[in-house]
Each structure stands twice: as C-alpha cells, then as structure tokens.
C-alpha cells in the first residue's frame, strides 16, 4: 500500500513547490483519492501515477483548497481514456458531503468537448457518519465541527479512518479541534493531521498527554506556522512527543 502526498498546503495564496491538499492511496491495482486540491492530477501524472486506476474519490468538505483540482482530475482522466485503449469501462464513486457541488462541477464539464462523455461512471454518494466503503479499503467517516451543518441538517465536514492490509490511517480533514478525533487517535499506524487551523506543537503535546499509540504523525494542510519555519517547527514538535513526526511535502511518498 503506497501513499503519495500531492498537495501539502492549506488555502493560502500560491506557494512555490506546494499545492492545496490532496493525497492518494494505491492498493494493488487500484487508486483512491482523499481530497483534490489544485493541480492534483497534474502532479500525480508527472509522478507516473496511473489516473485510470482511480476507483474512488473521498472529499472531506467542499472548500476550494480541498476540491479545486477535482474538475481537472476528472477532465484529465477522460483525456487519458481518449489516448489509451487498454482498459474496460469502470466506476469512480465520488464521496462528498456536498452533492450539489459535484453536480455543478459535472455541469461545467458537460460544456467541454464531447459533452464530457466518458467510459467511466461517476456516481455521487453523500457522506454521512459510518462506513462508506468495506472493500478493498474499509473507509469510515466521522463528522466534525469545521463547518456548520447544511440547511437540511446534514454535516458538511468529515474526517476519515482508512483500514487496509492491517494498517489504520486517520485523515483529519479540517477539524475544529483535535479532540474531535478522540477514540480514533488512541491507536493507529498513521495520523495525517491538518495544521492550517492548529498549532503543531499543541497537537504534539495533546497526543503525548493522551499517550496515543500512533506509529507516525504526518502534518498536512500546512498553515503559516509550518510554512514560515518548517525545520524549526519540526524540531520543536519532536521534542514534545515520542511519536515519530514529519512534515509533508508535495511529492512525498512511502509504503505502509
């Protein structure tokens, strides 16, 4: 199982060598996306990740720094199907707390060449608390308070827990408080924790005080604290916890 960081930045102005949040998980012959910030498909393609292996896209919430690259991802996948013939029709479910946003994106794409006719289907599935997918990944969703509920009462921001090949990954998405991940963070192999809205040092201190059994803590969705001094912040964080800590960069990849 291989994880690749395609975008490591929060919703800042353009930053050299960093794009907005997106990462992928490769499991066997299949590829799964978690958020789709700007340029995610461009970066993935240049890293020789086969976009036509995509079998699921999971969005944490509808903010632009998490979905801004989705139209181009879907458009690029269609473009690749027009130049390759070595695949059969396939399905790419899009899991989102905001189905109307996806309908708008698909409507925009429908105005491109060929009416955006594709050989892959894109069923839109509304995210709610509980299990979203059972195989080959177990994907569980938990709402958080980063965004207020929609007018119909549905939550609009979610964190994810992904389990596969005996490894457990927690992706915070954007959260109001790390306490919203309590229970999940008691034990996992990897925690992808956003710092666009939180102090990295406070996160480390909290997890250390909880005696969380986390195999690796990887900061993503960087805010100004990390962007202004990544090396200094990393040194401080490592002094505050026994958990191995790293700061994500665009293009980072590793095996789980």
Q: List the pLDDT tens digit at each of the 256 positions of the chain.
A: 999 999 999 999 999 999 999 999 999 999 999 999 999 999 999 999 999 999 999 999 999 999 999 999 999 999 999 888 777 899 999 999 999 999 999 999 999 988 999 999 999 999 999 999 999 999 999 999 999 999 999 999 999 999 999 999 999 999 999 999 999 999 999 999 999 999 999 999 999 999 999 999 999 999 999 999 999 999 999 999 999 999 999 999 999 9
pLDDT at 87: 75
Q: Residue 200 belongs to a domain with what CATH number?
A: 3.60.15.10
d(Cα 207, Cα 249) in Å, to the nearest integer?
Answer: 22
Domain that holds residue 208: 2-255
Residue 120: how many other CB atoms lie within 10 Å: 17
Residue 183 CB contacts under 8 Å (≥ 6 apart), including other chains: none
Tokens encoding 61: 């919430």
Q: What is the pTM of this model?
A: 0.97
Q: Which among 235, 220, 127, 140 is positioned nearest to 188, based on CA atoms?
A: 140
According to the model, what pLDDT value does residue 114 have?
A: 87
Q: Which residue has tokens 């012959």?
A: 29
- Distance (Å, rounded) from C-alpha 191 to C-alpha 219? 8
Q: Residue 113: its pLDDT value, please?
A: 85
* Per-residue model confidence (pLDDT) at position 195: 96
Structure confidence at residue 160 (pLDDT): 98
Q: What angle do CA 246, 250, 252 make, to 5 degrees?
A: 55
Q: Are 48 and 83 in contact (CB under 8 A)?
A: no
CB atoms within 10 A of CB 114: 9
Ramachandran class of 245: left when φ > 0, alpha when ψ lies in -120 to 50, beta otherwise: beta
Distance separating alpha carbons of residues 204 and 241, to the nearest angstrom: 6
Among the listed residues 167, 218, 215, 216, the one whose alpha carbon sits nearest the alpha carbon of residue 192: 218
């Amino acid at each position: 199982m291989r994880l690749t960081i395609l975008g490591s930045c929060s919703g800042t102005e353009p930053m050299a060598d960093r794009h907005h949040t997106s990462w992928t998980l490769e499991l066997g012959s299949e590829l799964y996306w978690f958020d789709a910030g700007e340029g995610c498909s461009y970066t993935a393609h240049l890293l020789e990740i086969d976009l036509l292996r995509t079998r699921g896209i999971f969005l944490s919430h509808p903010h632009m720094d998490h979905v801004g690259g989705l139209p181009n991802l879907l458009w690029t996948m269609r473009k690749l199907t027009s130049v390759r013939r070595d695949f059969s029709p396939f399905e790419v479910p899009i899991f989102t707390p905001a189905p109307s946003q996806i309908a708008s994106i698909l409507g925009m794409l429908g105005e491109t060449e060929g009416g955006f006719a594709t050989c892959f289907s894109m069923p839109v599935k509304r995210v709610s608390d509980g299990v979203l997918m059972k195989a080959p990944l177990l994907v569980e969703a938990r709402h958080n308070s980063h965004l207020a509920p929609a007018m119909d009462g549905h939550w609009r921001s979610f964190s994810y827990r992904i389990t596969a090949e005996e490894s457990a990954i927690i992706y915070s998405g954007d959260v109001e408080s790390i306490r919203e991940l309590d229970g999940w963070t008691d034990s996992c192999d990897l925690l992808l924790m956003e710092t666009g809205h939180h102090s990295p040092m406070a996160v480390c201190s909290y997890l250390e005080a909880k005696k969380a059994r986390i195999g690796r803590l990887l900061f993503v969705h960087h805010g100004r604290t990390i962007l202004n001094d990544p090396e200094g912040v990393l040194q401080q964080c490592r002094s505050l916890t026994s958990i191995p800590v790293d700061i994500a960069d665009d293009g980072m990849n590793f095996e789980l």
